[in-house]
Structures are given as structure tokens and as C-alpha cells.
Amino acid sequence: MLDTQKRGNLYLALLHYSVYNKNERVVSTALTNLDIHDIARAARTFGIAKYYLVTPLIKQQKLAKRILAHWCSGFGAKYNPKRKEALELVAISDSLNDVCEDIYSYWGIKPKIIVTDAKFFDRSIDYINLRKLIEEGSQPYLLLFGTGWGVTEDIIRNSDYVLSPVRGDSDYYHLSVRSAAAIILDRLLGTR
């Protein structure tokens, strides 16, 4: 059962800006349909309060709105109501600032920002400790995922926490953002 008291304080944002491309240039990436679907389904499964798609590009926002409308009120809503239930969690946002303001407007408290990254940082927080903080429930948290080659340094610098990367037992750590998000939500909110 969804315990909104307990789970309702974790938010998720997928950033299409500002992120790096392959050549370490700061870019706006394009939306990926399955990022929207897969992460929304995982978000709904684990009780995320809201899933923000962040892009400053108006054309990309329009595309996202079309996709969401198809599944939330168009043909898709009848064809697959379970998909509707997941995609209803998705909001489109211009910027990380706007996301924080939206959460602030609901809570009256700024969210603590947690960045996810494939690298370790000196100040990385582990899953057990972050899970405990989230479970206290009195404070909203915003979990950031970058597309492309990851969020830019200024976002990492200005975050409250950097989450330890997901690692297997190998020297390879190149998960898709969809896989990384699924694993991280399971580690933070999943039950065994």
C-alpha cells in the first residue's frame, strides 16, 4: 500500500539541460520516449511524489505534452490504464529552479537536492543513510538524474547530497539512465 506520509516526500527530475555531451560540452539533450515511460512506471511503483521532465526547449516540451496527453487522456488512457496511472505523475518543467519552486509551493520548504552520478565524490552519501533521511518524512527531497553524459558541475556543486554511484562487481558502469533510476528507487524505497 502506498504510504503517502512516508513516500510522498521524494521527488524525481530528469534533466535534459544542463548536461554534458560526449565531448564535455554543455548541451540540451532530446527527450527519449522510453525515459518518460520507464521512469514514470518505476516512480509509480516505488511511490515517488512527482516526476519532472526538465527541458527549456519549447518544441521538446510540446512533444512531451503530446506524449502525455495520448496516455493520460487520449487513446492510450483507455488502451492501457496502468500506463495512465504512471504517466499522471509526470510534470514538464523549464528549469531546475522551477521544479524547486513547485515543490516549495506545496511544502513551504525548499527540497534538499540529491544528485546522482556514475562517479564517486568525497562527499557521496550511501543508500542506507539517504534512505533513513527520506524516511523521516518532514522534508522534501529531489533526486536528480542527468541525460547525455551527466549533469554539469555547477549542479553537482550546488546540490545538498551526491548519491553513491550504482556499481556491480565489475569495472564497467555504463547503465542507461532508465536502469540507474530503477535501481536507485529500489535501493531507496523498495521492499524485499
Residues in touch with a copy of itself (CB under 8 A): 1-3, 6-7, 34, 37-38, 41-42, 44-47, 82-83, 85-86, 126-128, 166-176, 178-183, 185-187, 189-192
Least Å distance, CB 45 to a copy of itself, is: 4
Question: Environment class of residue 159 by beta-carbon count within 10 Å: exposed (0-12), middle (13-18) or buried (19+)?
Answer: buried
Residue 106 or 149 having the CB closest to a copy of itself: 149
| DSSP per-residue string spanning 121-148 | -TTEE-HHHHHHHHHH-SS-EEEEEEST
Nearer to a copy of itself, 16 or 35 (CB): 35
C-alpha pair distances (Å), 109 with each of 9, 51, 118, 125, 141: 11, 18, 29, 22, 10
Q: Which residues pair with 53 in a beta bridge?
A: 14, 92
Residue 108: CB minimum distance to a copy of itself, A: 25
We find the least distance from the C-beta atom of residue 46 to a copy of itself, in angstroms, to be 4
Q: Which is nearer to a copy of itself, 51 or 155 (CB)?
A: 51
Angle separating helix axes 33-46 and 58-72, nearest 10 degrees: 60
Q: How far is CA 24 from the centre of its chain?
A: 22
Q: Give the shortest CB-167-to-a copy of itself separation in angstroms.
A: 6
Smallest gap from residue 33 Cβ to a copy of itself (A): 9
Q: Considering beta carbons, is residue 86 or 151 the nearer one to a copy of itself? A: 86
Tell me how crowded residue 81 is: count the other CB atoms within 10 A of its CB.
10
Q: Which DSSP category does 32 fall into?
A: -
Nearer to a copy of itself, 96 or 146 (CB): 146
